Amino acid sequence: MKYSWSHFFIAVTSLMLLASTASAQLTDAQWRADLDTLAETLLDRHPDFYTKHSVEEFKNAFDALDSQIQTLDSHQIVMELCRLVALGGDSHTSIGFGVAAKSMHKLPIRCIVLSDGVFISAANKANEQLIGAQILRFGDTDADEAYEKIGVLFGYENHWKLINAGSSYITLLPALAAVGIAEDYRPDSFTLTIRDEAGVRDIELDCTVPAAKQPWVSFVEHLPGEVPLAYRKSRGYYQSEFISEHNAMYIAYNKCTESEDFPISLFTTFIMEKSEELNAQRIIIDLRSNDGGDETVIWPFIDALKESKRFTNKGDIIVLTSRWTYSSAMSNAHQFRDRVGAVLIGEPTGGKPNHFGQLDSFVLPNSMLKVYYSTKYFKKVPGDPDAVHPDILIEVGSEDFFAGIDRVLDKAFSYEPE
């Protein structure tokens, strides 16, 4: 159950991109100049921005924001810029919040959507006791409805990207206010309705910006017993371990990036030679925490599997996927299936196999917010499926999640072809 804990639950990296100046001091004229730059540059450089909404819809949204700038504070404007960019429906095209994120009021928790609800997966030290609680409502809004509402602030291509990216926005009070869940962009506190061992109750959380950096606690620190394999192997670009009791070679492919210290060619040779030496009968490639990079990095390994005389039967090669399997890793998932007959197990991927990508960026001149945009459309598979769907769907529920039970990996070990 390797779900990129380090960068998802502890750091919301997509919201903390670097910028050099604060946006709070900008004049209305400066914000309008940034709005003009955003629209002109994005529409000029994106290969096809109008796949989800029409030119007229974008123009109406642009004009509405332009007319409202004088009534909005900086955080409100940032959120409305996000809403504008989200009209493209492209999950690779987005705004980095920059230093604006540091001054936003936030809930002191991290959330995850599981098969049986929305749960608290991490918290600052003061709220550590809330880890594992189910969130029933954000303010007066049902938790599932809150995720649907927050989705207007970012591009997404399927349900799994919505709940993944939504978890990064759902704890930001400016985001909650932008979609009508919170009444104020800068409240000192916010109320959640939760269910935990004490029953159903309302809790009021401090949302103010802390004076100093706060220690955080992840649910991983609460897991009983030994830390599961997938968690142990979640660091670095790629790692491996031979699981003797299952006669399987496990590979954690965490990032589509080549290690300078251990090139993929050497890693491939090592895996193939060790598999022969240890008589491995199955290779399991875990892509569940891989959010992309360069899809070609893993190709030498796929080529080696294609040529192998050891892994030729159905079930000899298994690939694990999740909502965090995204971009180039998503492409690798269907390449493993198409080229070497891999069986995919887990959740659907966090995007479409046919998608916009190959990022570039530009900086808005006054706020210094960084705008990321796609430069190319990739047609990877016939038709237009909403995700790379696994051959065996296994959704993760709260009981297993907070106990550290990895049903996906367990299924990979026990898989028998029909």
pLDDT tens for 379-417 read: 999 999 999 999 999 999 999 999 999 999 999 999 999
Quote the pLDDT of residue 97: 84
- Residues with Cβ within 8 Å of 240's Cβ and at least 6 positions away in sequence, in order, are 233, 249, 250, 251, 252, 267, 270, 271, 274
Determine the pLDDT at residue 1.
43
355: left (phi over 0), alpha (psi -120 to 50) or beta: beta
Helix (H) or strand (E) holding 119: strand 117-124
Q: Residue 272's pLDDT is what?
A: 97
CATH class of the domain whose range is 223-351+386-414:
alpha beta
Of the ranges 7-21, 27-41, 293-307, 334-348, which one carries the lowest mean pLDDT score? 7-21
Query: CA-CA distance, 86 to 97, in Å (whole number)?
Result: 14
pLDDT tens by residue, 203-257? 999 999 998 888 999 999 999 888 899 999 999 999 999 999 999 999 999 999 9
- Give the model's pLDDT for residue 2: 41
Q: Which amino acid is at 136?
A: L
Residue 79: in which H helix or E strand, if any?
A: helix 74-86
Query: Helical H runs in 151-246?
Result: 159-169, 173-178, 229-232
Please report the pLDDT score of residue 99 as a whole number: 77
Q: Which residues pair with 371 in a beta bridge?
A: 95, 362
3-state secondary structure of 8: helix
User: What is the pLDDT at residue 9?
Assistant: 37
pLDDT of residue 7: 41
106-144 confidence digits (pLDDT tens): 999 999 999 999 999 999 999 999 999 999 999 999 999
User: Quick one: pLDDT at residue 16?
Assistant: 39
Confidence bin at 100 (pLDDT 50/70/90): confident
Measured in Å, how far apart are the chain's first and last C-alpha atoms? 24
Other Cβ atoms closer than 10 A to 12? 18
Q: Averaged over 33-57, what is the pLDDT?
A: 96
d(CA 261, CA 238): 11
Q: How confident is the model at residue 10 (pLDDT cuts 50, 70, 90)?
A: very low
Tell me the C-alpha to C-alpha distance, in Å, between residue 190 and each of 104, 184, 210: 14, 10, 15
- Higher-confidence residue: 384 or 10? 384
Residue 201 has pLDDT above 70, yes or no: yes
Query: Region 351-367: what's the mean pLDDT?
Result: 95
Q: Which of 207, 231, 236 is nearest to 219 (CA)?
A: 231
Residue 115, phi-psi category: left (phi > 0), alpha (psi -120 to 50), beta (remainder): alpha
Q: Mind listing the pLDDT tens digit for each residue in 176-200?
A: 999 999 999 999 999 999 999 999 9
In this prediction, residue 142 carries a pLDDT of 98
Q: Does the pLDDT value for residue 22 go beyond 90? A: no
Alpha-carbon gap, residue 176 to 147, rounded angstroms: 10
| Residue type at position 53 | H
Whole-number average pLDDT of the chain = 93
| pTM for this predicted structure | 0.91
149-162: average pLDDT: 97
Give me the pLDDT at residue 102, please: 87
Q: CB of 330 within 8 A of CB of 350?
A: yes
DSSP one-letter string for 326-391: -THHHHHHHHHHHHH-PEEEESPPSS-SSEEEEEEEEE-TTT--EEEEEEEEE--SSS--SS---S
What value, to the nearest 5°, has the Cα angle with vertex 146 and ends 143 and 150? 150
Say if CB 292 and CB 279 are below 8 A apart.
no
Structure tokens at 78: 């940032």
DSSP 7-29: IIII--GGG----SS-STT--HH
Q: Which residue has the tokens 């892509």?
A: 287
The answer to whether residue 25 scores a pLDDT higher than 90 is no
Return the residue matching tokens 């966090």.
350
Would you state the pLDDT for residue 74? 92
User: What CATH architecture does domain 5-220 belong to?
Assistant: Roll (2.30)
Domain limits of the chain? 5-220, 223-351+386-414
